[in-house]
Amino acid sequence: MSLPRILSLAKLEPQDVADRLTTTYQVIRDIAAATDVEVVLTTGGLGLSAKQMAALPALRLIAVNGVGVDAVDLPEARRRGIAVTTTPDVLSLAVAEMALGLALAAGRRIAEGDRFIRSGAWADKNKLPLGMSVLERRAGILGYGRIGRKLADLLRGMGMEVLYTARSEKPGVPDSYRPDPLSLARDCDLLFVTAAGGAENRGLVDAEILTALGPRGVVVNVARGPVVETAALAHALQSGQIAGAGLDVFDDEPNVPPSLLEAPNCVLAPHIGSATTEARRAMAQLVLDNIDAYFAGRPLPTPYEQG
């Protein structure tokens, strides 16, 4: 019996889970050769455009290896009745950990210190400027979803005061609510951006928010590049309006603009928030579970519910 055909725009990791995919399915990599496929595997970053969907007339399921669906044309998927699945929860700790790491790296000048040694500056008896205590500052979470809440748990566990903003106040949570990003930025020092990407949140962190954050402020973005206005952020870093930034996501990945490459105290990471063996294994397993369920006619384990 021939294996069911799927189109995969992404490679699953680690290898043993990737092998499970290729032994269970006939994996097509070229969209032009996939006009008959009912299932596409993609990533949060790659998504699937309406144009790509148009090339796939038999498409029934878009299985995203990630949680971001901003790159999937959801209205088109809904119009055609195509289901979308994601990999919620299993990557939250990894992304939260990355956010914490970026905050510590920026606040304690860890990446700068590494460059300082390698360039010979330390051996030449130079001094690195003082850093800031990260854990003694107030944290603000912009985007209080699964990842934002996991991060809040970590930060609170380390003794930090945590504030958050969301569309409405969440009953029974231990963190303090602020009704909008501006009041959050005014009242915190570390602004963690964990909000969803997409048109709704484009430019949510702009010049006004960065000014409100102030000269002790650090912005950490593990969400999507466009949620923070790049030009405003680069300007705020260059002019000392804020103290630093830690960025895992960018507008046009993998290209990072010179304005950020040259900005002082800006720690950069190549979109590796979920890139741990543990998280990627669990994500890949969930992708497989969703695809298996589709072909078996069972309910999808983690459908993305379109609001």
Residue 172 CA neighbour count, 13 Å, CB half: 0
Shortest distance in whole angstroms from residue 190 CB to ligand 8YV: 21
Q: What's the rounded Cα separation, in Å, for the pair 273 and 287?
A: 18
Residue 275 C-beta: closest distance to ligand 8YV, Å: 7
Near ligand 8YV in 148-177, by CB under 6 A? none
- Is residue 253 annotated as a catalytic residue, yes or no? yes
Q: Is 253 helix (H, G, I), strand (E, B) or coil?
A: coil
For residue 184, give both structure tokens.
């959050």
Q: How many CB atoms lie within 10 A of CB 280?
A: 20
In the set 137, 149, 224, 280, the catalytic residue is 224
User: Given CA atoms 235, 45, 191, 143 in this order, what sign does their dihedral have?
Assistant: positive
Q: How far apart, in whole angstroms, are the C-alpha atoms of residue 102 and residue 116?
A: 18
Q: How far apart are CA 84 and CA 64, in angstroms?
A: 7
Catalytic residue among 253, 262, 278, 298: 253
Active site residue 271: yes
- Check residue 271 for interaction with ligand 8YV (CB under 6 A): yes
Would you say 99 and 220 are in contact if contact means Cβ atoms under 8 Å apart? yes
Q: Determine if 68 is a binding residue for ligand 8YV (CB under 6 A).
A: yes
Closest to ligand 8YV by CB, 66 vs 217, is 66
Binding mask 116-145 for ligand 8YV (x = CB under 6 A): ------------------------------
Q: Does 226 bind ligand 8YV (CB under 6 A)?
A: no
Using CB under 6 A, pick the residue from 8, 43, 230, 265 that binds ligand 8YV. 43
Residues forming a β-bridge with 140: 163, 191
In the complex, what is the shortest distance from the CB of residue 263 to ligand 8YV, in angstroms, rounded to a whole number? 23
Q: According to CB under 6 A, which one of 59, 91, 205, 243 is a site residue for ligand 8YV?
A: 91
| Contact assessment for residue 304 and residue 198, using Cβ atoms and an 8 Å cutoff | no
Answer for the pair 267, 105: CB distance below 8 angstroms, yes or no.
yes
With H, G, I as helix, E, B as strand and everything else as coil, classify residue 70.
coil
Which residue number, 10 or 263, has a Cβ lying nearer to ligand 8YV? Answer: 10
Q: Which of residues 4-33 bind ligand 8YV (CB under 6 A)?
A: 10
Nearest to 45 by CA among 196, 224, 284, 194: 224
Complex with ligand 8YV: residue 98 or 141, whichever CB lies closer? 98
Under the binding rule (CB under 6 A), the answer on residue 67 touching ligand 8YV is: yes
Q: Which residues bind ligand 8YV (CB under 6 A)?
A: 10, 43-45, 65-68, 91, 271, 273-274
Name the residues annotated as catalytic: 224, 253, 271
